[in-house]
């Protein structure tokens, strides 16, 4: 169990740092109200989790330490649903409901598509 926790922690640390770097990179090119960095992290993270699940299943590694490292650790550290929620709350509080609902809908729909596409690519 301790070994599993270590894999999750290392994967989470890497994912969190990559999430930060995504925000830094996107902020250099985007300065709009739409939270693009979080949107990119969530959709790309959904794609990665689909891809990783498919590859692990294809190679009979669904009970491996690699699963904990990649899915729970890395993808969990990289994606940002809590930030997504607070950003939508702020958009709603600032009377940007159309932008908030558009952001929610796009994130959910593209996230689901990205998981499907990741699974498809892994086969």
User: Which residues are annotated as part of the binding site?
Assistant: 76, 79
Residues in binding site for Na(+): 76, 79
Question: Pick from 30, 17, 70: which is nearest to 48 by CA?
Answer: 70
Residue 75 has what DSSP assignment? I
| Residue whose entry in the numeric block shows the structure tokens 């929610």 | 104
How many residues are present in the chain? 123
Q: Which two tokens stand for residue 106?
A: 């796009």
| Residue whose entry in the numeric block shows the structure tokens 């904990």 | 68
């Amino acid at each position: 169990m301790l070994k599993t926790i270590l894999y999750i922690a290392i994967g989470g640390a890497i994912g969190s740092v990559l999430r930060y770097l995504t925000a830094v990179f996107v902020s250099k090119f985007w300065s709009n109200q739409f939270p693009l960095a979080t949107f990119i992290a969530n959709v790309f993270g959904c794609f990665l989790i689909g891809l990783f699940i498919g590859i692990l299943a294809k190679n009979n590694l669904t009970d491996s330490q690699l699963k904990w490292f990649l899915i729970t650790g890395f993808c969990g550290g990289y994606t940002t649903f809590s930030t997504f929620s607070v950003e939508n709350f702020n958009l709603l509080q600032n009377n940007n409901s159309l932008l908030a609902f558009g952001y929610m809908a796009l994130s959910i729909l593209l996230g689901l598509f990205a998981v499907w596409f990741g699974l498809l690519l892994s086969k």
